[in-house]
Chain A
Amino acid sequence: MARTMTGAEMVLEALKDQGVEHIFGYPGGAVLPIYDELFQQDKVKHILVRQEGGALHAAEGYARSSGKVGVALVTSGPGATNAVTGLTDALMDSIPLVCITGQVPTHLIGNDAFQECDTVGITRPCTKHNWLVKNVNDLARILHEAFYIAKAGRPGPVVVDIPKDVQFATGNYVGPSNIAHKTYKPRVKPDQTAVRDAVDLMARAKKPVFYTGGGVINSGPKASQLLRELVRLTGYPITSTLMGLGAYPASDKQWLGMLGMHGTYEANLAMHDCDVMVAVGARFDDRITGRLDAFAPNSLKIQIDIDPSSINKNVKVDIPIVGDVAYTLEDMLRVWKSKAPQLDKAAHKSWWKQIDGWRAKKSLSYKNSNDVIMPQYAIERLFALTKDRDSYITTEVGQHQMWAAQFYHFDEPNRWMTSGGLGTMGYGLPAAIGAQLAHPKSLVIDIAGDASILMNIQEASTAVQYDLPVKVFILNNQYMGMVRQWQQLLHGNRLSHSYTESLPDFVKLAEAYGWTGMRCDDPAELDDAIRAMIETKGPVIFDCRVATLANCFPMIPSGKAHNEMLLGEDVSDEEVENAIGAEGKVLV
């Protein structure tokens, strides 16, 4: 049943029909009609951020922690350009977002009008799809399509650009329909022959490993359940990318820890030496593979991915399976159970023995100190003191992010929000705000660096406005630690502009925003301070003063293979400085 209404009303109507409860936005001339509609209703709650970049990351944190589509609303021109980083971030990490942008009236488009920019042109390469709506009668259909595209298949961000005259114009509203999309029909059910071949190969493996990624999380909680079942049934070891943490419980004995550039020794060596690799919703990113021609050189590979372009992109696989992770794992489990394969128990026993040998290296160990707080220790304590709570962790980007991934352990999916693909400093605070909004009763902590936190610090004000008690735990080393580490590795320790000369007083900064500020620089007082942070009702900035020059290990230097890791304990400064060869230097 078509109903007549204005374009601006349609936006609100479509949001309600899509079940949207919260949107993150910032007003401006080109979206005023939509803001006027927002004012006159109370179903959709609008969260006013302090910069559009914050809206996009908040929507990401909301989406990733809840499994829903995140929604942002921004004005034309600078509103839209400020959204670009968040859109790119969501594209890289496959986060479903719908971003509605205002546009100058259609008759002004192309005239360099005030606050005009070519939003669809600028966002074309950083969205899954985008639309400029020129006719109000297309608006409702496009909005519903936008939600479908954002979440179908490999999720991602979409932009709907709505000129102001279209917001005022009257037209026919249509509700969401169940009619199949004309062109976009991603395959979700796997090919059964491939599933059987994969199970056969897995059953014959002597040195198997599961390598899982963000695709498991995106597929939904059921995918994580099925993954656990399959991994336990096979008894095989499992590792995961940064984006996939939590899909498999880190407390389980089959868990090897994260793999990749800052992954554990056992995870990377198991990848290097395996004979059968089962990649599940993971895309063989360069942070994972290290040197490509030495990546798991003696393995046959199975790859499950919903996006055919992720298969054989960086690494050739032997059994590609295009499909949704949950559907595929369900089929694999069924086939595995019905075959009840005879496994090579002896081989698996010696594989686990080999893995235990690698584990014994204790690659995450570090030299603790009684005088200064080691950053690793700070995360260990944070984990120990929060693990029994219902908590969600976001991060910024840098060493603290990697330490968080190494030392904070996740037993559940959707609990860990980090900018993996794009590596966006400034992600963590707005993402925490989004996550807190989706989980008002939970403990939400942004593990931050002193440099990153300043990139979106203005969102502290948003947290206060909406009573969101997020905690920002800053590992304050006064450096852009990760940059400093790379300068030490690659550039003769010439620390060009990686030291922040004049950091703010974070305690006063917190107070200025109406937060609680805390500081700790004594390992002996750390536990009490963390407890105090947790007990504090409102938002807290915790300025944790840590050792300034700690490096993040283990590390696979750029251009090196998995079995050429640098381990923390026994590397000298000289080894660190000579770790990367000439070809490695040009890599990022």
Chain B
Amino acid sequence: MNMAKPLAKSHYVGPGAVQAVVSRTLSVLVDNEPGVLARVIGLFSGRGYNIDSLTVTETEHEKHLSRITIVTRGTPDVIEQIKHQLERLVPIHRVRDLTNEGVALERELALIKVSGKGEKRIEALRIAEIFRAKVVDTSTEHFVFEVTGKPSKIEEFIQIMTELGLVEVSRTGIAAIGRGPVSS
């Protein structure tokens, strides 16, 4: 805090000064106890926050710890509130804003079903190679591709497949971890 600052304008940002909405990936380490996911989701819906992606699995079985990865959107002030509100939940160990800390390593897996014949089918397979998607199920009329990568890559792949006979998509949601040697 710069104490040389004159006693003048408040920091308050009125409706006039609208903050831009940003997307953030939060990594939330929780005790894997019953209801913990409901608490987190209930917090988001109850306070009107957005969830763009959510993944959760127990990651340390002996300690019963789960990692919840949430991609959310909001103004920086709202994101700050979300963090504090999450930290208030009793079974939460810690909350990290991986995006803000500039360390977010994000991956997602998607299963993508495409059906078609002839040219389109060959094109789909060619594109899949470029994206390093694996064929995990097939018949003469369809493929199921498995593709992993950044969410943007998956988006792009789906976009192209839409033109080539996309039937359906299942995505895991984003798993994220902080870069570097220390734990996030």
Interface residues of A (CB under 8 A from B): 120-121, 124-125, 128-130, 132, 149, 182-184, 193-194, 197, 200-201, 204-206, 275-276, 292-293, 295-301, 307-309, 311-313, 315-319
B32 to chain A, nearest CB (A): 12
Which one of B13, B14, B88, B93 has the highest number of Cβ atoms from chain A below 10 Å of its Cβ? B88
| Inter-subunit contact B92/A295 (CB<8 Å) | no
| 20 further A-B pairs in the complex, CB-CB below 8 A; given A292-B15, A313-B81 | A120-B35, A124-B39, A125-B42, A129-B91, A132-B34, A183-B31, A184-B90, A193-B1, A205-B7, A206-B7, A297-B9, A298-B8, A301-B11, A307-B88, A309-B88, A312-B80, A316-B10, A317-B11, A318-B10, A318-B11
Which of B38, B84, B85, B87 lies in contact with A124, CB distance below 8 A?
B38
| Inter-subunit contact A275/B7 (CB<8 Å) | yes
Which of A194, A293, A295 lies in contact with B16, CB distance below 8 A?
A293
| Inter-subunit contact B11/A316 (CB<8 Å) | yes
Which of A275, A293, A301 lies in contact with B14, CB distance below 8 A?
A293
* Complex interface: chain B residues within 8 A of A296 (CB): 10
* Complex interface: chain A residues within 8 A of B118 (CB): none
The answer for the CA separation of A132 and B35 in the assembled complex, in Å, is 9
The answer for the CA separation of A201 and B34 in the assembled complex, in Å, is 47
The answer for the CA separation of A121 and B5 in the assembled complex, in Å, is 49
Is B3 in the interface zone, CB < 8 Å from A? yes
The answer for the CA separation of A275 and B8 in the assembled complex, in Å, is 7
Is B46 in the interface zone, CB < 8 Å from A? yes
Known: A125-B42, A309-B81, A312-B77. A183 touches B12 (CB 8 A): no
* Complex interface: chain B residues within 8 A of A193 (CB): 1
* Complex interface: chain B residues within 8 A of A201 (CB): 3
* Complex interface: chain B residues within 8 A of A308 (CB): 84, 87-88
| Inter-subunit contact B11/A128 (CB<8 Å) | no
Which one of A204, A298, A300 has the highest number of Cβ atoms from chain B below 10 Å of its Cβ? A300
Which of A128, A132, A205, A315 lies in contact with B12, CB distance below 8 A?
A315
| Inter-subunit contact A183/B81 (CB<8 Å) | no
Would you give 11 A-B contacts (Cβ < 8 Å), ordered by A? A129-B89, A184-B90, A193-B1, A205-B7, A297-B10, A300-B5, A301-B11, A307-B84, A309-B81, A309-B88, A318-B10
Interchain Cβ contacts within 8 Å, total number: 83
Interface residues of B (CB under 8 A from A): 1, 3, 5, 7-16, 31, 34-35, 38-39, 42, 46, 77, 80-81, 84-85, 87-93
* Complex interface: chain B residues within 8 A of A120 (CB): 35
| Inter-subunit contact B11/A309 (CB<8 Å) | no
| Inter-subunit contact A121/B38 (CB<8 Å) | yes
* Complex interface: chain B residues within 8 A of A292 (CB): 12, 14-15
Q: Which residue of A is nearest B87, CB measured?
A: A308
A106 to chain B, nearest CB (A): 12
The answer for the CA separation of A120 and B34 in the assembled complex, in Å, is 10
Known: A300-B10, A313-B81, A316-B13. A183 touches B34 (CB 8 A): no
Q: Which residue of B is nearest A129, CB measured?
A: B90
Q: Which residue of A is nearest B13, CB measured?
A: A316
Which one of A129, A206, A311 has the highest number of Cβ atoms from chain B below 10 Å of its Cβ? A129
B10 to chain A, nearest CB (A): 5
Q: Which residue of A is nearest B80, CB measured?
A: A312
B26 to chain A, nearest CB (A): 15
Q: Which residue of A is nearest B29, CB measured?
A: A183
The answer for the CA separation of A295 and B12 in the assembled complex, in Å, is 9
The answer for the CA separation of A138 and B88 in the assembled complex, in Å, is 23
Known: A183-B31, A183-B92, A309-B88. A300 touches B7 (CB 8 A): yes
The answer for the CA separation of A201 and B11 in the assembled complex, in Å, is 15
* Complex interface: chain A residues within 8 A of B90 (CB): 128-129, 149, 183-184
The answer for the CA separation of A311 and B46 in the assembled complex, in Å, is 19
* Complex interface: chain B residues within 8 A of A205 (CB): 7
* Complex interface: chain A residues within 8 A of B3 (CB): 197, 200-201
* Complex interface: chain B residues within 8 A of A132 (CB): 34-35
* Complex interface: chain B residues within 8 A of A316 (CB): 10-13, 77
Q: Which residue of B is nearest A307, CB measured?
A: B88
* Complex interface: chain B residues within 8 A of A183 (CB): 31, 90-93
* Complex interface: chain B residues within 8 A of A317 (CB): 11
Which of A125, A197, A204 lies in contact with B46, CB distance below 8 A?
A125
* Complex interface: chain B residues within 8 A of A309 (CB): 81, 84-85, 87-88
Known: A124-B35, A183-B91, A298-B10. A293 touches B15 (CB 8 A): yes
Q: Which residue of B is nearest A200, CB measured?
A: B3
| Inter-subunit contact B81/A276 (CB<8 Å) | no
* Complex interface: chain A residues within 8 A of B34 (CB): 132
The answer for the CA separation of A201 and B89 in the assembled complex, in Å, is 33
The answer for the CA separation of A129 and B35 in the assembled complex, in Å, is 11
B122 to chain A, nearest CB (A): 51
* Complex interface: chain B residues within 8 A of A182 (CB): 31, 93
* Complex interface: chain A residues within 8 A of B31 (CB): 182-183
Which one of B11, B14, B16, B90 has the highest number of Cβ atoms from chain A below 10 Å of its Cβ? B90
